[in-house]
Structure 1
Amino acid sequence: MKIRLLGPTDAKKYWDLRLEALKQNPEAFLTSYEDALKRENPVEQTARNFSQPGNYTFGAFDNEELIGVVTLLQEQAEKIKHRANIYAMYVTPAKRSLGVGEALLSEALKIARTIDEIEKVNLSVIASNEKAKMLYTKLGFKRYGYEEKALKINGGYLDDEHMVLHI
């Protein structure tokens, strides 16, 4: 397995994995699969996002196959540039429990620690996702908030836990 920063040429592979993620784990993302399909030129938009300042999306590859992703996004507004967020963490089901998620998140945090402005990294996780919360806690994240009914999917509600890592 190899972890590397994704660039514009990886946009198609990323978008395909993103659609898989939205289908496989709809509870883990704010975007629905249906909303994602409605986006115009999603591969081009993704390629542009990969070139934006403060946007670091990492991919885990098994040979040439993209098997996992995570995005570290630094806030750009002057008063909150000291914050970054973890978004869109996903590992394809067949490759889970092999350390892919930990390797991805570790790489994102390594980059965060090299950026002088970043003092803390935030993330949100579905409260019932115990495996993800164990990983985040292992890497030093601590819970700082709880949001009831954060997501509504098919008439049911899911709660979010908000976590932070001070760098």
Structure 2
Amino acid sequence: MNIRKLIPEDAEGYWKLRLKALTTDPDAFLVTYHEAISKENPIEEYKKSFQSEYILTFGAFEKAQLVGVVTLVRETRQKIRHRANVVAMYVDDEKRGKGIAKSLLTEAIKVAENISEIEQLYLTVDAENTPAKQLYEKVGFQTFAVDKKAMKYNGQYRGEEHMVLFLEK
């Protein structure tokens, strides 16, 4: 397995994996599948974001196949530039249980530690996603808030846990 920062040429593979994520694990994401497919040109948007210095997306590859992703979004406002957010974490449901998610998260943390401004990483996780919460805790994230009715979709509420990791600098 190879983990690296995604480049514009990876946008189409990312888009396919993103759609699979929204189909297989819809509760794990704020965006719905229908919202995602209604975007005008998502592949071009991803090509641009993969060139941003503030949005760093990492992919896990088995051979040439993208099987997992995680994105680190740096804050740009002066008072919160010391923070970044971990978002859009997903590993192909057929590839889980092999340490891919931990490797992706470890890479994102390592990169964040090497960016002098970043001192804290934040993420939000579905309160019922026990495997994800356990992974985040294993690498050092701690829950600091729980929003019991954070999302409402089709009349059903879902809670979210907000977690933080203070980087050692």
Residue in structure 2 matched with residue 90 of structure 1 by the alignment: 90
TM-score by length of 2: 0.97
Residue in structure 1 matched with residue 68 of structure 2 by the alignment: 68
CA distance in 2, matches of 1:79, 1:24: 37
1:41 alignment partner AA: N
CA distance in 1, matches of 2:153, 2:99: 29
Q: Which moved more, 1:148-157 or 1:8-17?
A: 148-157
The 5 Å alignment of 1:8-23 reads 8-23=8-23
RMSD: 0.6
CA distance in 2, matches of 1:158, 1:35: 18
Residue in structure 2 matched with residue 119 of structure 1 by the alignment: 119
CA distance in 2, matches of 1:59, 1:164: 22
How far 1:154 moved relative to its partner?
Answer: 2.1
How far 1:123 moved relative to its partner?
Answer: 0.2
Residue in structure 1 matched with residue 28 of structure 2 by the alignment: 28
How far 1:153 moved relative to its partner?
Answer: 2.3
How far 1:149 moved relative to its partner?
Answer: 1.0
Structure 1 segments unaligned to the other structure (5+ residues):
none
- Percent of aligned positions with the same letter in both sequences? 49
CA distance in 2, matches of 1:66, 1:73: 20
CA distance in 2, matches of 1:153, 1:132: 21
The 5 Å alignment of 1:93-108 reads 93-108=93-108
Number of aligned residue pairs: give it: 167
Contact (CA 8 Å) 1:68, 1:100: kept in 2 or not?
A: yes
Q: Give the match's secondary structure for 2:94.
A: helix
Higher helix share: 1
Q: Which moved more, 1:148-157 or 1:22-31?
A: 148-157
TM-score by length of 1: 0.98
Residue in structure 1 matched with residue 139 of structure 2 by the alignment: 139
Structure 2 segments unaligned to the other structure (5+ residues):
none
CA distance in 1, matches of 2:117, 2:26: 33
CA distance in 2, matches of 1:165, 1:53: 21
CA distance in 1, matches of 2:152, 2:62: 34
